């Protein structure tokens, strides 16, 4: 076998509560507009036609607790607090009943967004990549095994910036539930260990600035934080 011409960074790997081993991240799928109140604040109608997705690349992700620079090319950098689902076994064309069996663990995530670029590209009917797949633009908190946690409707999802609450909702507000998302997405991809699904953000997204500290959580999961410089 020929050697590689150069080395790539090791994939990001997320700590798992109670485990010595970590969870290496392969692909990151994100659900768009999965909370009605957030879709409305973005000026979009909500429908139950089908969920839609965009992707963020794993090399652009960082672990919770990171301190990162305010990104280039934006004057409207937004937080999106989300529930992340980590796939633990291969699954293709799963039924809703089968879907949750494929989940290894759950965790908090931040889908950081250059909102001005996302909206500019959206309005031109172009892909969202410049707005969404930015360096340090996905933040991942330690995972909790599915045996120890489930995405029940009453679980609260929340985020504060510099101690002031910005996002505060419950998983009951999810338009597409976790099993529906996995079932639908697995009709298009052979989902496999290493795949993360970020399941959308509730209302209350807004801008952050250099110097801000973001702290979020979901009931029963490990908290998440990010500092901007």
Q: Which residues bind Mn ion (CB under 5 A)?
A: 80, 111, 201
| 3-class state of residue 225 by DSSP | strand
Residue placing its CB nearer to Mn ion in the complex, 81 or 103: 81
Q: What's the min distance (Å) between Cβ of 34 and Mn ion?
A: 8
**Cβ neighbours of 154 (radius 10 Å):** 8
Return the sign of the alpha-carbon dihedral for residues 65, 66, 67, 69.
negative
Residue placing its CB nearer to Mn ion in the complex, 80 or 195: 80
Residue placing its CB nearer to Mn ion in the complex, 80 or 215: 80
Find all residues with CB under 8 Å of 7, minimum gap 6, and list them.
none
Q: What's the min distance (Å) between Cβ of 80 and Mn ion?
A: 4
Residue placing its CB nearer to Mn ion in the complex, 22 or 55: 55
Q: What's the min distance (Å) between Cβ of 227 and Mn ion?
A: 20
Residue placing its CB nearer to Mn ion in the complex, 105 or 201: 201
Task: State the residue number with the nearest CB to Mn ion.
Answer: 111
- Calpha distance 34→51 (Å, rounded): 8
Q: What's the min distance (Å) between Cβ of 36 and Mn ion?
A: 14
Query: Sheet containing 77-79: which strands, arranged edge to edge?
Result: 113-114, 77-79, 206-207
Residue placing its CB nearer to Mn ion in the complex, 99 or 139: 139
Q: What's the min distance (Å) between Cβ of 58 and Mn ion?
A: 16
Q: What's the min distance (Å) between Cβ of 167 and Mn ion?
A: 11
CB-based contact 14:184 (threshold 8 Å): no
Backbone torsions φ then ψ of 139, nearest 5 degrees: -115, 135
Find all residues with CB under 8 Å of 179, minimum gap 6, and list them.
96, 97, 99, 100
- Calpha distance 1→195 (Å, rounded): 28
- Calpha distance 168→156 (Å, rounded): 7
């Amino acid at each position: 076998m020929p050697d590689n011409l150069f080395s790539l960074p090791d994939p990001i790997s997320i700590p798992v509560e109670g485990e010595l081993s970590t969870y290496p991240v392969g692909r990151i799928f994100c659900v768009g507009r999965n909370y009605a109140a957030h879709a409305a604040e973005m000026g979009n109608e909500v429908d139950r036609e089908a969920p839609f997705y965009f992707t963020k690349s794993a090399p652009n992700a960082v672990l919770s607790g990171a301190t990162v620079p305010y990104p280039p090319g934006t004057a409207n950098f937004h937080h999106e607090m989300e529930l992340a689902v980590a796939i633990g076994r291969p699954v293709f064309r799963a039924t809703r009943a089968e879907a949750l069996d494929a989940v290894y663990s759950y965790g908090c995530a931040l889908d950081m967004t250059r909102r001005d670029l996302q909206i500019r590209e959206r309005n031109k009917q172009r892909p969202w990549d410049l707005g969404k797949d930015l360096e340090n633009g996905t933040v991942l908190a330690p995972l909790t095994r599915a045996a120890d946690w489930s995405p029940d409707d009453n679980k609260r999802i929340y985020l504060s910036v510099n101690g002031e609450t910005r996002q505060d909702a419950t998983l009951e507000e999810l338009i597409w539930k976790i099993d529906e998302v996995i079932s639908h997405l697995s009709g298009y991809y052979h989902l496999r260990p290493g795949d993360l699904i970020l399941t959308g953000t509730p209302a209350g997204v807004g801008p952050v600035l250099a110097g801000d500290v973001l702290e979020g959580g979901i009931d029963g999961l490990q908290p998440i934080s990010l500092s901007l410089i």
